[in-house]
Structure 1
């Protein structure tokens, strides 16, 4: 009887997870299938799940109608630079908050966390003015510098650093290790899943960022993929008249994110499932 109840519980749990997974995957599936349909098939009722004659050339047409390779490169380049800077900044700040003793440390950490509750849009005007005074508008440098700090990253790495045994740190100090060596030779290897999780989340956010880059970047050759998709929607997409091409463009622009998650999935799941966030 207990085994029957156990297997019934497992089956229900798997069924719920299967339904939830399909619900989350359905928008992507619908986008891909619509990218190889005609306009008439997209708007047909009842909906057509698979076209009679797949229009695979929509991907080639969409790719050649706009400089998507440049847009994707701009997004990947800026997001990679931002992630690298955020990881270094967050690690050093988390190290200082966990290893140094100085007046007002708890107050400083409280201020950092409280800034996370500040609406992002509230920082746009002062950030824009600052970049304008530094002549960094419409530049890659402006995009990268304005996103170089991450409150979430500081919090995440601080919590991970707190789980590292203090004995290991004390032993390293007795052996003459510097703060830089302790940070990157002890804390980093033991909390690597947290670093990878932060990098993955930050990369996705920066790659999908639209509002802030659209305010400071105006040159087409420097636009990110989100801006490029909007331009394509307005111009070549003719305000949504040619939906198959829009769906095709949307499909191949998320390929870098899918590849990134495919390579980082093991580390990402490891960090999420780990009770302490520390791996040996």
Structure 2
């Protein structure tokens, strides 16, 4: 009931002077929800590593394949998408709800622009539900508490962290975050990750990361496939294992896409 009290806008102010990964990624995907500072860093990165644009699109395609598997063959109906980024085509809830309309999806990000767009665009099928949590990856307790309003954490959940673990500099902190998230969900839950490495293009990827880090955005860290794989200890990694985005269950086409320096995996909690 409206008691005449004016609503207070609690949406954080958007800082357009500092580049943000979600908006840079949006720029690479051909979106319009970005600012000059984001395009500047995006262009500087593509100058030394033009493949980054295709890499961004391959990550979006991988998300679709992984979610279709989880909602289909694996039978999951709950998804926790951490590090959502700006809404684009084939978001997690859209893919999942095409397979299973009753799917429930919670998105998590900490960029105010993402929050604004999520509230407007991430709408659910009538049979399911979507929600948005404004939180940082480093605060898994808050993420889980807020997600628990929409998801039943006593039933299996697919937790996805695409392109976000690169912003956590300490390996042990990554392990702690993943452990706290996975400890809160039951057997049969799945973890979906992607992470930048330099196993394919070596020094060219390192140079692109240097440009990114010097540009004022959130600094990122390249890790080896061996280190990334260690984050999955104790989980059952689905075939084909930890591989380049283009090698994870690719769609049947007459052309084979080249490998990219973003590796991915889907793993099940036993």
TM-based fold match above 0.5: no
Q: Between the two structures, name the one with larger relative contact order (CA 8 Å, sep ≥ 6).
A: 1
Structure having the higher strand fraction is: 2
Higher Cα Rg, which structure: 1
TM norm structure 1: 0.28
Structure having the higher helix fraction is: 1
TM norm structure 2: 0.28
